[in-house]
Structure 1
Amino acid sequence: METIKEKLLQLKEKKTLRLLLKSIVILLLFGVVSVILLFSLVYFEVFGKLPNKEELTSIISEEASLIYSSDEVIIGKLFAENRTNVKLSQIPTHLKEALIATEDKRFYSHNGYDGQSYARVFFRSLLLQDASGGGGSTITQQLIKNLYGRQYHGFLSLPINKIKELIIASRIEKVYSKDEILLLYLNSVPFGENVFGVESAANRFFNKSVNELNIEESAVLVGMLKANTYYNPRLHPENAKKRRNTVLQLMNSETYLSNEDTNSLQKLPIVLHYNNLNSNATAGYFTYQVKKKAMELIKTVNETSNSNYNLETDGLKIYTTLNYDMQQIAEKAVKKQLIIKQQQLDKELASNKLKNKWLHKKQFTENDKHKRTMQLFDWDSTKTITGNKIDSLWYYDKMLNAAVLITNPKNGAVISWVGGNNFNTLPFDMVLSHRQIASAFKPFLYATALENGISPCDYFENEEKTYPKYENWKPQNADHSSTPDKKVALWYALIQSMNIPSVNLYFKLEKEWLIDTCKKLQFPEITDDAPSIALGTLDVSLLEATRAYGAFANKGEMKDVYMIQKITDKEGNIIYEEIPQKAEQIFTKESTQTLTTILQQAVEQGTGNSIRNTYNIKSPLAGKTGTAQNYTNAWFMAYTPNIVLGTWVGTSKNDVHFTSGKGSGSSLALPIVANILKEIENNPELNEQYLTPFDIPEEISSKIDCAPYREKGIKGFFNRLFGKKK
């Protein structure tokens, strides 16, 4: 009886086993058929088009366009993806070895897909759930993913995309050599931070080209490919070092490195030279303007030559007029001055309780008073504070901003452009902002007078007067002085920036003469007849003012400013080149030489004399300060025959400002120019290039050889008749 039971049990077990085996076979067959079916559907493009041989042959990786300074320093990039392609000869051998050892050690033996890797993934990663088993994608398949991305197909997304990559990888292996595939991969692989390609990554993290990388730096970059944020050496240096050492060990396993070299390299620290042209860019304001202008130029080139250049993807090279050394000097001078003056302004604001007056003008809600953590711009680093919206607004409203524009008056080339304190946090460009130009306008009034027959030695009243026609306006000199018994010479009134004689000069001129001058200078239109225009109430941008002062430096001829010298394609062929522009004659040569002689004296003994006395600048120079009403805007404009330096300083909205002479043009703006000039004087090459002497004939400079003052009345008459000439 027991034997029958056992036999029945064995039969049952055999039947169960047969059913199980049958089920497995059916499942396997179903799986194989499903894979074949899915593969066929993908192959015959049911799930989307696959690139053919012709399309694969024409693969061109997008490449960032580069912006160069005139001394060939890269100062900016324009990109859809931050990528700069390199040639195979530029790739170091150790970088290729690190990549192959880490990502695809059978790269040179497979045909785009690796059967051994698939088996490893199936058994270790899927069956044994071993996370360290690694992926199954070859370098070729990863390249396909980088180039074409992955599409969404519901729950079948992963297998469909994997099959697509396998098919395209096998095709691309028939089109390109292994080294060409390696190059395409290295030019397209993402490194995080919106950086694509190994050349851009080498520049970002080590501030060098890929061919300059050493072994340990190559290992860092290859290590990032596994997880470019987690292994980012700037954000997570410890993770990056561990991953780098893993890459070095894999290179050792493939006999690319000896044991001794591996051990010594693994002990080294990671030394970064982080270089982000977008977050910490010298000339950020300038490169933004260059991008706008370059887009206009490329559009015109495409329309006129039937081409299709793309500024963000075609690897163009934009060569600008900016001098990198001068730009650094200007930015350094701005930072040095504003740190000092901001402390003085903060102290003054604390003592005069201006913040309370500011608060009364604003309308805040209860929401604005809620505390939160904020990051604010600071000169040395980002400043983190706990405060509310009111604190943030006050912080920025009382912040001093500065703009510097330096040009070559002979051709209009921009040498330096500082649009503000920091482009990323304060992107509004103060070079283009219209502000009250104040006394920096007076040279244009006086030049108009010289053009119309008025002499530097003509004398004008310097006595306070009320003008009923203009709402009882009563102009005063800045120091509140006047000389009822004496008249003042025109040249002396300008170098001391006197207001009363300037108003009297305005009334002596025909208003249309001054309007015509401003129109030629491309200033904003003068819309009323208020005589206060003589004192600089017109709102002018630093760009407009610097361009106009270029006419004084260039013997009456004004050139419009330009920034781009030429644009080439990535092969170096010129597709745009600046054509020398025709100058516009604003003033006669004689008038500008006379005015320059006067403005040289403004530097020697007038409102700009601290540039000599305090800063000890020795070079030939003509200049003029400007201080707007209530110290809201400070200006200093200076020039030689080869350079014009324009500077503006003030707060963003003019409702917070100095209430003392510390906010004057000579105190606030002039020191920036002085510090720039000091650096130029100390640099023999820049000194020779920019600080050239004026070539003014003796008969012109002698035109101001007359006394500053002349007594009025009978006494003055006899003194002039019999007295000693001064």
Structure 2
Amino acid sequence: MNHYKNILPLEFDKIKASLKNNWKVYLLRGSGVFFASALLFYLSIYLGLWGKIPSINELKDLKQSQATSILDVNNQLIGKYYIYDRQSIAYNDFPQHLIDALVATEDARFYEHHGIDTKSLFRVFFKTILTGDDASGGGSTITLQLAKNLYGRSNYGPLTLLVNKIKESIVARRIESIYSKKEILTFYLNTVPFPDNTFGIESAALKFFNEHTKALSVTQSATLIGSLKANHSFNPRLFPEKSKSRRNVVLQQMVKYGYLEADSASIAMEKPLILDYQHFAPNQGLAPYFREAIKKQLDSILHQNKYKKPNGKYYNLYRDGLKVYTTLDNTLQKYAEQAMKDRMAKLQKQYENAYGKNKPWLTNKPGFELALKRLKKYQRLKASNLSEKEILDSLSKPREQELFSWDGSISKSLSTRDSLSYYLKFLNTGLISMEPSTGAVRAYVGGIDYRYFQYDHVSQSKRQVGSTFKPIVYTAAIESGMNPCTYFSPKAVTYTDYEDWKPTNASVKDSINTLNYSLKYALSNSINTVAVKVLHETGIERVIDQAHAMGIKSNIESVPSIALGSSNLKVIELCEAYTSFVNESKPSKPVFIRKIETNDGKVLASYTDLNPKQPVEKAYSDATRQVMLEFLKATVNEGTARRLRSTYQFKNDIAGKTGTTQDNKDGWFVGILPQLVTVIWVGNDNQQIGFSNTAIGQGANSALPIFANYLRALNKDAHYNSLTKSSFETPSDKVTRSLDCPPTKKESFLERLFEPSPDKTEFNKKRKKGIFSWLFGKYKDE
């Protein structure tokens, strides 16, 4: 027993020594296996087995998708086309306090490390992981963040974070070996994501503060840099108080690292957070309809072979950072949009109240049923062979919807049927302002709100133009030789060759009127019966030819009702026609784009490339133009648009024409300044629904006030004095003498004797000189 007692301790000692030696071996072997596995794992990432890593050569040519900028006539940004809202700028455009705020907050040792801050990584490991200290900060450097911003991250399951971090560290090392610290900061600030899906400091500065980066204040820079920690949580638009608090943390970091004096920081931290938020998304912000019209033009332009890139590929509107210089005037556009909103919100209430309980857009009205059956959703269900009951059941299921209202967007639970009824009631509008001498489009309002009504009422919609067509009829008459002092009876006539069509005037007393009206009086007061008689004397085909010569492209039906504006035309082509009255009798083709540049400032397409000058013939003589301008001035001074003088008290030189269509479906106004022509339409998109009465629906009440609001804003802005205080040309002595006659006169015995019966007559499609015309000089031979 004693023998075993002596042996056991020795054996235990041997076993203990063996275990001790084996533990070291196991640890050594385990460590070797771990490090070998880690090395192999790292090499597998480095060699691209987990996805390709950009090479040094690829990193030398860093390119990112950049937004195409849309600039106004004063080179102010009005919108962008992009996949990522990004605009690149140079290092010299960064204010020093922006760089300081970034470094102090995101990477205090930025100028000391080479892409990976080992010291910070160890700090994060020991304090955050081992001690649970969340305040220890992050170990990601600006260069690592840049690598992530440039190439994003992929999903690798449980190893996602580890694989991505290693890939980013490899890229960061390569970036640091190629680029200087200034270049890295430039890349970073041009690519880093800011709130509201905005990429790069320039886009963020413009979006949140309406300032270029170089003009940012210290507090503005701190606000944007502060948002990088969490784009949503520190979004200054959504969470201003949290954003301000984070801004102040950035300012404190700047003090901590010696970039800002404590006193200056204290003053800055007391300042309120003030935004000047700009919408650049396609369906928001200034001039969205104009930007969409521009996009369609650019799609065509950029697919022409002569505008290809040096590598033979077409430019991409959403990626290549082009600059598109347009003709739009940012300020005029703001005035036009506000003028429209102010009037349309009030008019909508008048419109709805005037119908009372008999609203045609309600679900139990015949017009609603027709509109419902035109819906694409209804037609799809019908094509699926569903019964009418099944279709209606499907269209009656409610869902939460964001809806337009003049008091701001609202959210309601509505079915498709209820939603249709809701939107059927809204009036819409279209407005365009053009510079007559060049055709430059200065303002363009395609509808009341692009987010909800994307149909463009300037370039897409065609509506009956009403009395705004009458000046074209009168122009053709004067140009064909009719004396401006020709008089016509306003009495209604039945035209037997057109199914006994009998146009009338709004005033009943014209049927017993013994006065004859001069052309000037008849046009300025928009007398229907006289307009038809002028067309009758001139000839339908001659009037149609005159319309086309003035820039009208749409088909005009050869019927006498065109004298009253039965033709469907676009707002933009009517505007083109009216420019001829203040542009030497020549219609001006609308111009949208001045030039296009590449992102490095090279001119891709110049004005002359985009708008080749073509000889434009006069649509009529100078004398005719001067006569017609006097007629249109009279419309404002004493005719249907006289409220511009009486109600609005405008002293400007203004000419114009109101227009109202049958059953008050459309209201029009054309406002002419010597250097600006504006055409406005108002109506319901559903042409079966008009205004309930003429008092509300006539162009003088629906469309003219928009022009009045617009002109009032222009008159208040001294910058536009050259526009608002300009004068019309003085008519020649010959023209002045030709207009020297009273507006009305009584019918003579001979006129009553020789004039055709006022009850029935045939319509002359071509110009004819009757005995009366020959005897009494209705025509003045050229």
Shared fold, TM over 0.5: yes
After superposing the two structures, state which structure 1 stretch, 196-205 or 405-414, moved more: 196-205
Q: Is the 8 A contact 2:535 2:563 kept in 1?
A: yes
- The question of 1:402 aligning with 2:405 is answered no
Aligned to 1:724: none
- Pick the aligned partner of 1:319 from 308, 314, 325: 325
Residue pairs, 1:462-477, within 5 angstroms: 462-477=490-505
Q: Which residue of 1 aligns with 2:349?
A: 343
Which whole-Å CA distance do the structure 1 matches of 2:151 and 2:404 have between them?
A: 40
Q: Any conservation in 2 of the 1:301–1:576 contact (CA below 8 Å)?
A: no
2:473 corresponds to: 445
Matched, 1:606 2:633: no
Q: Does 1:140 align with 2:158?
A: no
CA displacement 1:678-725 (0-9 Å, x = unmatched): 33333444232353222311321332333444544527689x99xxxx
Partner-residue secondary structure (3-state), 2:102:
helix
For the structure 1 residues 715 and 242, does the alpha-carbon distance in structure 2 shift closer, same or farther, using more than 3 Å as the test? same
Alignment correspondent of 1:686:
720
Q: Could you report, residue by residue, the CA deviation over 1:435-488 in whole angstroms, capped at 9, with x for unpaired residues?
A: 110110111111111222222223334322334443333211123442454543
Q: Is the 8 A contact 1:456 1:703 kept in 2?
A: yes
Distance apart, 1:6 and its partner CA: 8.0
State the alpha-carbon separation in 2 of the partners of residues 259 and 296 from structure 1: 56
- For the residues of structure 1 that align with 2:644 and 2:261, how far apart are their CA atoms? 63
2:720 maps to a residue whose letter is L
Contact conserved, 1:202 with 1:208, CA < 8 A, in 2? yes
Q: Would you say the 8 A contact 1:559–1:581 is kept in 2? A: no
1:185 shift after superposition: 0.6
1:503 to 514, 529, 532: 532
In the TM superposition, residue 187 of structure 1 has moved relative to its aligned partner by 0.9
- Inter-CA distance 15–398: structure 2 relative to 1 (3 Å threshold): farther
Return the alpha-carbon distance in structure 2 between the equivalents of residues 423 and 316 of structure 1. 24
**1:66-145 counterparts in 2 under 5 A?**
66-127=69-130, 131-145=134-148
Whole-angstrom CA distance in 1 between matches of 2:688 and 2:136 = 65
Residues 398 and 657 in structure 1, CA contact (< 8 A), matched pair in contact too = no
Pair 1:454-2:482 in alignment? yes
Q: Distance in 2 between matches of 1:483 and 1:33?
A: 107
1:284 paired to 2:282: no
Measure how far apart 1:668 and its partner are: 1.0
Residues 39 and 462 of structure 1: CA distance in aligned 2, closer, same or farther (over 3 Å): same
Map 1:372-521 → 2, pairs under 5 A:
372-385=399-412, 387-432=414-459, 433-483=461-511, 485-521=514-550
SS in 2 for 1:558: coil
Contact 1:411 1:581 in 2 (8 A): no
Question: For the residues of structure 1 that align with 2:223 and 2:721, how far apart are their CA atoms?
Answer: 43
Deviation at 1:229, TM superposition (A): 1.0
2:243 paired with 1:240? yes
Query: Which range is displaced more, 123-132 or 50-59?
Result: 123-132
2:756 equivalent to 1:696: no
Q: Distance in 2 between matches of 1:614 and 1:620?
A: 16
What is the deviation of 1:230?
Answer: 1.6
Tell me how far 1:41 sits from its aligned partner.
2.5
Residue identity matched to 2:479: E
Quote the offset at 1:153 in angstroms: 4.0
CA RMSD of aligned residues (A): 3.0
SS of the residue corresponding to residue 182 of structure 2 reads helix
Q: Would the aligned equivalents of 1:555 and 1:593 in 2 still touch at CA under 8 Å?
A: no
Contact 2:307/2:604 (<8 A) preserved: no
More deviation in 3-12 or 651-660?
A: 3-12
Q: Which residue of 2 aligns with 1:652?
A: 685
Question: Relative to structure 2, which stretch is displaced further, 694-703 or 625-634?
Answer: 694-703
- 1:559-574 map, 5 Å: 559-574=588-603
For the 8 Å contact 2:485–2:519, the answer to whether it is kept is: yes
Q: Residue type matched to 2:591 in 1?
A: Y
CA, structure 1 residues 120+28, in 2 after alignment: closer, same or farther (shift >3 Å)?
Answer: farther
Q: Is the 8 A contact 1:63 1:82 kept in 2?
A: yes
Report if aligned partners of 1:625, 1:636 keep a CA contact under 8 Å in 2: yes
Number of residue equivalences = 720
After TM superposition, the structure 1 = structure 2 runs for residues 519-558 of structure 1, keeping only pairs within 5 Å, are 519-526=548-555, 528-558=557-587
More moved, 666-675 vs 37-46: 37-46
Deviation for aligned residue 1:201: 1.4
State the shift of 1:127 in Å.
4.8
Percent sequence identity is: 35
Aligned match for 1:637, one of 659, 670, 683: 670
Give matches, 1:242-281, under 5 Å.
Answer: 242-278=245-281, 280-281=284-285
Displacement of 1:593 in angstroms is: 1.5
- CA pair 632-201 structure 1, distance change in 2 beyond 3 A: same
How far, CA to CA, are the matches of 1:681 and 1:205 in structure 2? Answer: 30
Distance 1:211 1:103 in 2: 20
CA contact (8 A) 2:404 2:452 kept: yes
Q: In the superposition, relative to structure 1, how do residues 258 and 31 fare at CA in structure 2: closer, same or farther (>3 Å)?
A: farther
3-state SS of the aligned residue for 2:430?
A: strand
Contact 1:620 1:694 in 2 (8 A): no
Cα shift readout 1:275-295 (whole Å, capped 9, x = no counterpart) = 223365222222222233234
CA distance in 2, matches of 1:629, 1:73: 42
Shift of 1:130: 5.2
Quote the Cα distance in structure 1 between the aligned partners of 2:24 and 2:99: 48
- Equivalent position to 1:161, from 152, 159, 164: 164
Moved more, 598-607 or 284-293: 284-293
The separation in 1 between residues aligned to 2:73 and 2:468, in whole angstroms, is 30
Tell me by how many angstroms 1:419 deviates: 1.3
Q: Could you tell me how far apart the structure 1 residues matched to 2:14 and 2:274 are?
A: 72
Give deviations 1:634-687, integer Å, cap 9, x for gaps.
Answer: 001121332211111112223333222111011111112122223333344423
Aligned to 1:211: 214
